[in-house]
Structures are given as structure tokens and as C-alpha cells.
Structure 1
Amino acid sequence: MQCQAKLIMMLPCPEFQLALSSLFRKEDGWVFSSEEEKEFGEFQKDLEHLHWCAVLKLQSPLPKARYTLDVMDSAGLVKGSTLFACGSPFGSLYPDIFLNTISKGVLSNTAGERNVVLLTDARCLPGSEGGGIFLYENGTLHLIGIIVAPLFWKVNEWVGLTLACSIGHIINNIMKALRKADIPVKSELAALGTGSHIVDRSKRGAGPSQHMMASAVLVDSGQSWGTGVLVNAKLVLTCRHVVKHSSKVSVKIHNAKMKSGGGNAFKKFHTVRGEVVFSTRESSPYDIAIIRLDEEIPGIPEPVLASSYCAGEDVCIVGFGALGERCGPSITSGVLSSVISVDGDPVMLQTSCAVHGGSSGGPLFALQSGELLGIVASNTRDNSTGATYPHLNFSVPVAILRAALKRYVEFGDLRSFGELNKAGLAVRDVWRLQRSPENVFQSKL
């Protein structure tokens, strides 16, 4: 069915613009336009235009919907909530094929006043702009946001997330505009703000994803930063390349219940110094480091270390990739794509979660059991083009660390970690991600 529509008004969402300018700084190399649009200079003024919305009026009314669609306020949304994205990629070219294409993911992160900025790992393509982000709950479909940018990059690295603006903020700005302008459909637009369509979803109790996110920390070596996971109140697991060659690092814990400066405001992060007590050699295929904190972090649930793996199970990765500490850790969902074993023992885990720069060292969790499966080591890069693939990534299984961690916690003995430096040729071959060029064609990885 095709309908004609008339443009009623264009209006900005200043709250969205303010959050964007704080979150996505130009000097960090963010780009929101597609490869084709980069040829046109006007499209490079991304942050100046992303906060503008258009209101259209259909010339002919649609048939009554067979379901109830509510507008949900985004302030109470919880990271890790299951979301659906609906858009029409390339719809103007082939609407019979692409119209109302649905994608599923989770709420990866939020930012700004009352969560005006929404980030989801539900995969969208160019042409999805203006489509909806939905939460389905108790038999009702709730519209929570409008897709603003289905794809974006940081320093030429595809982030693998979709950017959306809270629909509640858009409606509030429509209401403000109605007070100042005489618009033909003013009464119809005013109905949006009556409250009968707006659901204020209060925050629920911390679900499994909240406990998972509480164990993720930001690790700053002074030269670079990445992610780590608290395995107990004083011990952090991360990657060797995150700590570099530092002996001391700063570990930042998000939402620690500690007040700043003796006042009533809570710190966004609590910073603790830590000592790098072990780091694998550069020659080791296992990219692992152990950090002992100078003080205990109370109230952090210790993750259960997995002892077995099931390819195809639902998983998630928590990390400070791309956005760093500006809005806390991000969560991305997917499946455990492959478990690579050598002599019957798992040595590498592959997932379809979105992983980008800064996620290294972050935890990989099983969604159903909540067990810690592994430590994120890398995503995939095509060395011939420089392109990265965030949804193809690799983690070190915690199964190979269990015995060494237990011995260190009980006896303070680090010698068992030294076995990570003695991995055989078969393990090294797996983690090289490419065979010798004289034997087979060289991989692009």
C-alpha cells in the first residue's frame, strides 16, 4: 500500500544534540555518513543535522492497526533489554522486498538526559533512518526511539551499533513547538502529548545483564585503555595488549557506591590503582594479564567460571569499546559461533557479538547461565583493506585459566600462569589466524 504524505514541520531535538556533542567528539574521528555520501562535503556536517526530525501527515488514513502501539519513555530502560528495529533498507528502490525489515538485538548503551541517546546492536542498513526501535512487553509493542544512524565509524572502524533518538524527547519537542506555531493538524499532534499513549517504564530489579555489567571495569595503562573483568574483589583479568608493558595501571569501576568530595553526588567512576602481577609474553598466543588492585571493591558479584562450552548458545560481551568511560560499559548480544579445540581442550572462542576498539579484555558471558566464558582478545581485520568486522571476534576461554586462578587466589602462587607461555605449535597456529603462505593461500585475517 502506498500513500502520499505532506511535510508538516521540521524540528530539532536539542537534548539529543547536546548528548551527541558530548559523546561523539569530532576529534575522535567519528563519521556517520555512508561511503557514498563521503564524496559530498555537506554530508560531513553530521553532528549538525542528526538531531533534526520531520513530522509528516498521510493524505489518506491507514486501516486500523490490529495491535496496540504505545510510546514508552526511555528514562527507565535497562541496558541489555531485548529490542526490535524496524526499517526499510533500500526501500525506495525495492519496497516489495525491503519494506518493514525487522532486526533483533539489545539495548547496548544510553546517554544524555533521560536516556535521549539510545544505542542498540540490532543490525540496520542505510535507508533504515526514521524507522522505529521497539520493546515488546506483556503483549504490547512499545515505540521507544527513532533510528538516526544505522551505521557509523570511529577512525574508519565500523562500530556495529545503531544510533537512535528517544521518541519521548521528540514528542516533548513537538509539544513545545505547538505552543508557538499555528499548525493545521495541531489538535492531532496535541493528542500525542495527552499521556494516554505514553508509558513510563520504571526501572526493574537488576537482571542478569546488570550483574554482568557490574563486573566489567575500564583499565587505563596511561598509554592505552581497554576493558577488564573483576573475578573477585581484588583481582582483574584483562589482555596483555591493554596493559602494554606497564607495571601499574588505573582501574575504573563504573557506578561504584561512593560519594564524591564528601557531597551528596555520586561518582560516575571510582578509580583504583592496580599492579600488573602477571602478563603473558609477546610470543604467547594467549593475550592475558592479571591485575591485583590496591584495595578491595565491595559488592561486586564474583562471576562463575565456565568449565564447558556449547556452540550456538546465546552470549553477550560487556566492554568499554569505542565510547570509553563517557556513558559506562556497553553490552552486545550474539551467539557462541564456534569453539576451537586442540587435543580436546578449548583454546579459542568465536562469537557474533559486536566488538570494537576498547572492548579487549572484556568478559564474554553465557546469557542463560550467567557464567563467564572467556576474555575478549580481538575482532577481525582484513589486512588488505583495513576494514574491521565487529561481529566476528575471538576470546580466550576461561577454562584454561581456572586452575591458575584458583592457585593464585589460595596460595598467591603465579607459577601456574607461566604455562600460558608454553602453548604448543597447534595452539599458536590457531591464534595466528593464518597459515604459512607457502603452504596455503594467505588468509585476509
Structure 2
Amino acid sequence: MAEDGTAVPWELPGCVVSVSDPSEADVEPSSCSGAILCRSPGLVLCPAAVLVPYLQPDVTAWPRGDALPPSALRPGLHISVLQAAPPPEAVQQHVACPLALLRCDAFARALPGTLSTAEESTEALPWFCWLRVPGLDTPGGTWTPWAPAATLRKGAALLTCGTPFGALCPELFLNALSTGVLSNATGPHRALLLTDARCLPGTQGGPVLALTPASSPPRLVAVVAATAGCQGGQGLGLALLCSLHALLQSAHGVLPELSSLPPPLPLPDARGSPTPRCAVLVESGSSWGSGTLVAPRLLLTCRHVLQLGAPLRVTLRHSTTCDTILQARLVFATSEASPFDVAVLELQDSVPSFQPPDLATTFQPGEAVLALGFGALGRACGPSVTGGVLSAVVGTPPVMLQSTCAVHAGSSGGPLLSARDGCLLGIVASNARDNAAGTTYPHLNFCIPISLLHTPLARYRCSGNPAAFAPLNAASEGAQAAWRLQQRPPSKL
């Protein structure tokens, strides 16, 4: 059963790949997770980084070409695949033979220069190893059902399957599951994906499945490329995935074993509900962040996103190739002394066909929520989506919301939505930061409840007078106390 209670009645396509050199008995084997692609013939895919220590001395680790043959590896290596076994055994072990180390060019081109990982160099990420595993051959065996990631919407539910710490203790950790959502995607055919599913070290190479109705098995859509993406020296709380479709394309014409590959299966019910189009990119001089549309010409953002006196530009991202850019003016911004970091902008032109989100009037701790913002590839790919729960509602009436969604630099001003009905709960203001340690915690963040803005927004719509927002500068002592930790220095948002 997955961590959110999702039942798993089907066989998991996960395994562990372990590599050792018998001539180096005192050296610990290298290991990672792997994805079982087919059981006739038995094929497994894993990151090539696990084989780097075993390359021949005269082989450049990451050549400019797209492939390395098995002869690039030292002779006599022991490569094994560990898979789940029926009771009473916990694990079965099979001998594996490398077919090729291939570079996924689409994934390599999608990797932005500002993105790095905690485990591997960016140079190593696009390389994967294809393994032939005769012990997995099954009479009548088939390919693991798969689908192209390009058919998934942001916010779609994903299930990752990996083995934390690789071959260290597979009896305990084999094929651990974690759920999350598709946070963002970029590159040709969406070759690079981001998810907020929790992926621990050692789960690189594990399969990523798009959830479907209980009547059909999930579809394999990607493999974990790196368990922890970083940007600007700070962890994103997101894992990097490589699309299976892109990996199959990189091997097309190279591996004859792929000649029996069946066509992809559709994902009619696994795309997820489309998130409201209320998240926008706000740029003010050299400063930028996110914003939340609450009316065709009115949006909210955070005061700290704006650069004093700079022109305001608002971008609506419809797709990776289609933007609408609108000019805006500042209607109101709270004072520096106010605990509520809010600014109200009015667009020069209305957003066509915009349906404002419903504004929440109640908040339920523990309810599922989504955060939208332009952090984590958002400026290039549109708003990222992360899921979590409303972890705390502070004050009566509420003066602060806390959520477990992963939010990042550039997310300030973005919407926090109910995952159930899309109601706007608040706007993201900041995340938590330990200034002594220099560490940001993307999964602990603070939001301004939309209920604080119900009356000011209604009054402004009626009167057009910015003074309608003046009460935001007269916060109660409780509000001042709740937000005191976030006053100075500000978070990384």
C-alpha cells in the first residue's frame, strides 16, 4: 500500500541493481534502483552512474557520443538484479548483462544550467544502462504497461517505486512507494519531469507510475533520475525524472530487444483535474515572483516581490510556447510594519475568459492542498504545482496558514488551493529558513489567508478606492506575533 493508502494489487516493476568487481573484495558494491521494462525478454533500466567506477581506464566517463558498448566496462564484473520474491523468500537475485550505456539526448537538452542535484553531477544524469536479465524471462511475459508523460497534466498523481539505499538492506526497503504529483515538465516531449514525491538516496532508477482507476494497472511514465534537485544552492524538495518515452527514443535503432515494444497505452482517467488558471508571473524591474488572479483585472502578490518605482509586467503562461503579457499598476501595498506581506495590482486589460476562483471561507487542518508558483523551472515552463496538506491554521479568525507543499524562490504571491474543489485558500508568502545554518525548508511555508482580503476586495470593487485595503496595515497583536519570525530577515522566497 502506498503512503497515502493507495492499494497496490499489481506486481511492482521495481528492482535493485548491484555492481561489484570480484578482484576488489574489499570494495563495497555500487547499487541503485532499477525499472523492470519487460519480462520476455527480461530487460531492466537503471542510471549509468552506478557503473562509472567500473569503466575501463582509457574510457572517458561521459563522451560526447550517445552510447558506450559493454566493452567500455572492466571484464569480469558481477552485475546482479534483486527483485521481490514470493514468501518465504524476501528477495530473488538474478545475473544481469549490460547491453549498452546510452545517453538520453532529449533529457540532456532539457536540463537547465541552473539546476543541479545532490547526488550526481549534471553531466552524468542523461546516461542510463540497459541490462539483459535472463532470470526475469517469463513464459508469456510482456512489457510493463507504459504511457508517454506528455499526456499528463501538472498536478496528476504519480507513484514512485524505489529502494532507499540501494542494496544496503533490500529485505527492509525493497520497492518502497511514495506518492506525489507531477510538479512541472520541460524539454522535447516533456523529457524532464519534476515531482514532489519523496525519493530517498538509492531510489535513482526506480520506476514512476501514473495512477489509473483500480480496474487497470498504472502506466510506467518515467524513471527517477535524481532524488533531490537543487537550485541556487538550495534544495527544491523535488525529484528529477526522465520520461520513459524519451529513454525509449534514445534506444530506438540501437537495441534490437526493443523491436517487440508495444504502443503506449492511453491515460484517459489519470490526467488529473486541471488547476485553475489563476497563477501568473509578476515582474518588477529586476525582481520577480508569482501572483494570484482574483478577478479579470485584479491580482494579489507579495509586497517584497515588487521593486519600488519599477514598471510592472504580468505574464499568463498558457503553454511553453504561448504567453500573454499585460501591463499592471500598483493599487496598494502594505507598509513594512505590517505583518501581512501583500500587494494588490490592477491590469491594464482584462484577462480573456478568466473564471475567478471561489474564495474559501473556512479552513480545515489536514485537508489536501496544492501550491502553484513560478519557482523551480516556472519561468521557463509555467507554474509548478506541488501537493501537501494544510498543516496549521493560526489564529481565530485565521491570520496565517501553514502547508506542507514544497515551495521555492519565485513562489511568493502564488495561490494555495484546495485540492478538492480548487477554492483559493490564500497566497504563499514565505517558507521557513534557519539563518544560522543557511538552510531553507521548502515543505514548511506560510500563507496569508484569503479570508483577510474578502472584505477589502469587495469594498474596492464597489468603490475603486485603495483605502479599502488600509485595514491590512492595522494588524492585531496576535497577527503581529504569528508573523514575527518572518519579519527580518526574509525567507528565500
TM-score normalised per structure 1:
0.84
Structure 2 alignment gaps of length 5 or more: 1-91, 488-493
Q: Does 1:296 align with 2:387?
A: no
Q: Does 1:305 align with 2:363?
A: no
Residue of 438, 443, 449 corresponding to 1:386 = 438
Q: Does 1:148 align with 2:225?
A: yes
Residue of 56, 78, 82 corresponding to 2:157 = 82
Residue 338 (structure 1) aligns with:
392
Contact 2:230 2:236 in 1 (8 A): yes
Contact 1:146 1:166 in 2 (8 A): yes
Residue 10 (structure 1) aligns with:
101
Residue 262 (structure 1) aligns with:
none
Distance 1:67 1:379, change over 3 A: farther
Residue 221 (structure 1) aligns with:
284
Residue 362 (structure 1) aligns with:
414
CA shift, 1:64, in A, is 7.8
Code of the aligned partner of 2:306 = V
3-state secondary structure, aligned to 2:441: strand
What CA deviation, in whole Å up to 9, does each residue of 1:5-38 have, x standing for no partner?
Answer: 1211111111111111xxx21xx3x32133xxxx
What is the distance in 1 between the residues matched to 2:100 and 2:169? 28
CA shift, 1:190, in A, is 2.0
Distance 1:416 1:47, change over 3 A: same
Q: Does 1:32 align with 2:110?
A: no
Residue of 295, 319, 330 corresponding to 2:373 = 319
What CA deviation, in whole Å up to 9, does each residue of 1:221-253 have, x standing for no partner?
Answer: 112110001111100100000113246311011
Distance 1:423 1:281, change over 3 A: same
CA shift, 1:176, in A, is 2.2
Residue 183 (structure 1) aligns with:
none
Residue 251 (structure 1) aligns with:
314
3-state secondary structure, aligned to 1:49: coil
What is the distance in 1 between the residues matched to 2:118 and 2:416? 31
What is the distance in 1 between the residues matched to 2:103 and 2:451? 51
3-state secondary structure, aligned to 1:428: helix
Code of the aligned partner of 2:258 = L
What CA deviation, in whole Å up to 9, does each residue of 1:235-278 have, x standing for no partner?
Answer: 0100000113246311011118xxxxxxxxx9521111111110
Q: Does 1:397 align with 2:488?
A: no
CA shift, 1:73, in A, is 1.4
CA shift, 1:409, in A, is 1.1
CA shift, 1:216, in A, is 0.5
Code of the aligned partner of 2:456 = A
CA shift, 1:202, in A, is 6.9
What is the distance in 1 between the residues matched to 2:376 and 2:321? 21
Residue 107 (structure 1) aligns with:
182
Aligned residues: 394
Residue 274 (structure 2) aligns with:
209
Residue 11 (structure 2) aligns with:
none
What CA deviation, in whole Å up to 9, does each residue of 1:347-390 have, x standing for no partner?
Answer: 00000100010000000001112110000000111111111111
What is the distance in 1 between the residues matched to 2:156 and 2:287? 30
Residue 258 (structure 2) aligns with:
189
Code of the aligned partner of 1:12 = R
What does 1:418-437 correspond to in 2, within 5 Å?
418-433=470-485
Contact 1:69 1:141 in 2 (8 A): no
Cα RMSD, aligned residues only: 2.2
What CA deviation, in whole Å up to 9, does each residue of 1:181-204 have, x standing for no partner?
Answer: xxxxx3x43222x42xx2244799
What is the distance in 2 between the residues matched to 1:65 and 1:417? 68
Contact 2:376 2:384 in 1 (8 A): no
Distance 1:301 1:67, change over 3 A: farther
Distance 1:434 1:355, change over 3 A: closer
Identify which range, 241-250 or 144-153, moves more after superposition: 241-250
What CA deviation, in whole Å up to 9, does each residue of 1:407-429 have, x standing for no partner?
Answer: 11121022231111111222111
Residue 61 (structure 1) aligns with:
136
Structure 1 alignment gaps of length 5 or more: 35-42, 179-185, 257-265, 436-445
Code of the aligned partner of 1:32 = T
Code of the aligned partner of 1:251 = V
Residue 238 (structure 1) aligns with:
301
Contact 2:153 2:274 in 1 (8 A): no
What is the distance in 2 between the residues matched to 1:118 and 1:324? 12
What is the distance in 2 between the residues matched to 1:10 and 1:169? 15
CA shift, 1:151, in A, is 0.3
Code of the aligned partner of 1:278 = F
What is the distance in 2 between the residues matched to 1:352 and 1:340? 15
Q: Does 1:95 align with 2:147?
A: no
Distance 1:246 1:134, change over 3 A: farther
Contact 1:78 1:203 in 2 (8 A): no
What is the distance in 2 between the residues matched to 1:428 and 1:327? 36
TM-score normalised per structure 2:
0.76
3-state secondary structure, aligned to 1:393: strand
What is the distance in 2 between the residues matched to 1:165 and 1:203? 22
Structure with higher helix content: 1
3-state secondary structure, aligned to 1:118: strand
What is the distance in 2 between the residues matched to 1:318 and 1:209? 12
Residue 263 (structure 1) aligns with:
none
Code of the aligned partner of 1:143 = L
Distance 1:413 1:419, change over 3 A: same
Contact 1:12 1:53 in 2 (8 A): yes
What is the distance in 2 between the residues matched to 1:270 and 1:150? 34
Distance 1:430 1:49, change over 3 A: same
What is the distance in 1 between the residues matched to 2:404 and 2:225? 24
What is the distance in 2 between the residues matched to 1:202 and 1:366? 23
Code of the aligned partner of 1:88 = T
